[in-house]
Amino acid sequence: MKAAHPEVAVAPGQNPGELLRQARENRDWSQAEVARKLNLTVSSLNHVETGAFDKLPGHTFARGYIRAYAKLMDLDQAALVDAFDRYTGTHAKGSDVHSLGRIEEPVRLSHNILRGVSLLLLVAVVGGGFVWWQDQGSLRGKELAKIALEHVEVESADGTTQIHPLDEPEDQAVSAGQQPESAPLPLEQGAAEQPATAVPAPASPAPADT
């Protein structure tokens, strides 16, 4: 069986931290020793003993400090927690809702901010990608138009199509397109020229006899 805790007489409106301080001094314990045993800072322990509960993280935490402090001093935990509720004008259920509301409100606000920042980043990335895609399409169209303007197609007499640079003279391109593929080879000189027929010279008359 658990040992019964000694009765704690708390006057109406009395700070329960004062009773805890008296119990600590009766044991000749310093604030530093008790704070180390409760895993608290000395300043937090001092706030509990002086009744400065508004300087603690919240009534839920302050109520837990009171309960742990009373257990360490071997005092009635429930009686001191009730004294805390009367002293602060709160109760366990209402305090829990109030403290959780104060904790969840900044968390909810930070989530909303994070969601908004993420949405802005997504819009910026999508918008940047769309602008880049448009720029690439415009540059590609300009390059194709430039290539088309720099060359001209010329159809030759034999039906073939030739591509000439735009800076080439037009008459040169046309003459090049109309020029026959190959000129006829000249006939061989021996075959073209016929040999001349030799004509015999007339015989000279014989001299007359005298």
Give residues with Cβ within 8 angstroms of 47, minimum separation 6: 53, 55, 56
CB atoms within 10 A of CB 178: 11
Q: What are phi and psi of 162, to 5 degrees?
A: -120, 145
Helix (H, G, I), strand (E, B) or coil at 76: coil
Domain 16-90 has CATH 1.10.260.40: yes
Spans of all domains in the chain = 16-90
Tokens of 209: 């006899």
Longest dimension (CA), the chain: 204
pTM here? 0.43
Please give the Cα distance from 165 to 150 (Å, whole number): 6
Q: How does pLDDT run along the chain (210 residues), one tens digit per residue?
A: 444 555 666 777 789 999 999 999 999 999 999 999 999 999 999 999 999 999 998 888 999 999 999 999 999 999 999 999 989 887 655 444 344 444 445 556 677 788 888 888 988 998 888 888 888 877 777 777 666 555 656 666 676 776 666 555 555 545 555 555 555 555 555 544 555 555 555 655 656 555
